[in-house]
Amino acid sequence: MSLPETFVLVLYFFVLSILAIYGWHRYYLVYLYMKNKGRAPAPLPPLTVLPRVTVQLPIYNEMYVADRLIASVCDLDYPQELLEIQVLDDSTDETTSIAELAVRRHAARGFNISYIHRVDRRGYKAGALDAGLKAASGEFVAIFDADFVPGADFLQRTLPYFQTDPKVGMVQARWGHINQDYSLLTKIQSMLLDAHFVLEHGGRNRAGCFFNFNGTAGVWRREAIGSAGGWQHDTLTEDLDLSYRAQLEGWRFIFLSDVVAPAEVPVEMNSFKSQQHRWAKGSIQTCIKLLPRILRSKQPLAVKAEAFFHLSANFNYLMMSLLSVLMFPAMWVRYNMGWTEMLLIDVPLFFAATLSVGNFYIVSQRELYADWRQRLKYLPFLMSIGIGLCVNNTRAVLEAIFGNQSEFARTPKYGIEHDSDEWVGKKYHQSVGVQPLIELALGLYFTGTVFYALANQIYGTLPFLMLFQVGFLYTGLLSILQQYTGENVMLKSPEVAK
């Protein structure tokens, strides 16, 4: 075996081993969740003495959902004299007039609601929250993004947990999905989010590890924000950053899986990519910023280890991109040198890296839905789309590593609630750039690899290769089609497309 061939195989198995380690960690998260399933926070009785609460609504160019958000918050079951609502609007379009009109309308009904408009967007969302906090009067601060529609009982169900323990600094609710059945893409996103909340948040929180506020659908004790250093905007995930700083200061967080705040998931592939890019880049920025401090802290080893896996997880996209490039050369080398011996190493690593993902999402769906078996048909698409995102998120990781600063790009929302609702022709579409062409090139690369495997009767690799092939072709093609032709049948889920 030549030196280049040795290098290809060594690098290939190194990358696969790293992915396998993080794959096994998913099994560990499921184990944590199941082991501590009985430690879920029990519902608490209503408060006898209600505190003053400030609800902050940070928005930026949200003309299709701003009025819905403000109306839903004004429907909260809470005394008006104890509720302060801040509409923190950094918009530069028609949203300003829509939001200001809604504020005046609800103020006329007796609500203590104010409209705060900034023109410089300094600090983006973190800056808006900080500016509002300086004028806030509430002891507790609830935050909702523009695409959320909280239930009327949200505050009544979350606030009692602060009263039982003065060290509780934040209570996070689970995200629901208003439009999860709109398309295949929205269905996949709902499954991704379900697993994040149920298993990651649920497993970590109940095991005593750190977890994060998700930027919305949560309530903060105002004192916890201040003692942790306040909102900072040197990362794109100000919520993750503040969460870890607050928990390092000794504040406890609580995750309530049974309190659900419905929200709209992106219906457009490019909007979904933009959201994922921001989350991936911000998490790596937070990792670089806080992980050394976490590892030097006096926290238990289990807490430090879980924080390491949590904050560094998006480095896997870089590994996945390398694996994508290396897969055909590694296959070619191994086929020429004898396939059988390598299977003893290759197959266990692939199973650890891929089957753990399947198990992760199966468990989360089983925990939430009575028809979970019916939802498993989406699992191959979920895994494919996760792979297809690796170009998008690798770019985010590299930007974070090299300190490339970028603005907070909010995720476009179109007010999609029903299958018949349309987003084509509305504002806020994301541009595609050259990235989809790279994804298409990788999709064709894996198409060629599939044919190579078929021609040489290497059938055992086909399921894995096709996950990569479909993932890259789907994300690349859908980005281009939605940018230039609008909605396409590729977007629809099986139920909707019938």
Retrieve residue 193's tokens.
Answer: 């989010």
Retrieve residue 340's tokens.
Answer: 């059988």
Distance CA 366, CA 328 (A): 36
Q: Which phi and psi (to 5°) does residue 251 adopt? A: -80, 140
What is the number of other CB atoms lying within 10 angstroms of the CB of residue 147? 27
> Is the separation of the CB atoms in 173 and 154 below 8 Å?
yes
What residues form DSSP beta bridges with 262? 176
> Is the separation of the CB atoms in 482 and 488 below 8 Å?
yes
Residues 6+ apart with CB under 8 A from 280: 314, 317, 392, 393, 396, 397, 400
> Is the separation of the CB atoms in 413 and 62 below 8 Å?
yes
> Is the separation of the CB atoms in 53 and 139 below 8 Å?
yes
Q: 């600090």: which residue's tokens? A: 123
User: Among this protein's residues, is 90 annotated catalytic?
Assistant: yes
Q: Is 123 left (phi over 0), alpha (psi -120 to 50) or beta?
A: left
Catalytic residue among 89, 145, 147, 239: 239
Catalytic residue among 90, 145, 194, 346: 90
Distance CA 243, CA 248 (A): 9
Helix or strand or coil: residue 176? strand
Distance CA 354, CA 373 (A): 19
Sign (positive or negative) of CA dihedral 442, 448, 453, 454: positive
Residue 142, H or E segment? strand 140-143
Residues 6+ apart with CB under 8 A from 498: none
Taking each helix axis as running N to C, give the angle between helix 3-35 and helix 340-368, from 0 to 180 degrees, rounded to the nearest 10.
30
Helix or strand or coil: residue 398? helix
Q: Which amino acid is at 1?
A: M
Rg over alpha carbons for the chain, rounded to the nearest Å, is 23
Q: Which of 296, 226, 266, 243 is nearest to 409 (CA)?
A: 266
Retrieve residue 12's tokens.
Answer: 């290939």
How far is residue 270 from each of residues 4, 233, 476, 484, measured CA to CA in Å? 38, 24, 10, 12
How far is residue 271 from each of residues 174, 180, 267, 414, measured CA to CA in Å? 22, 15, 8, 11
**Residue 235 Cα to chain centre, angstroms:** 15
Catalytic residue ranges: 90, 239
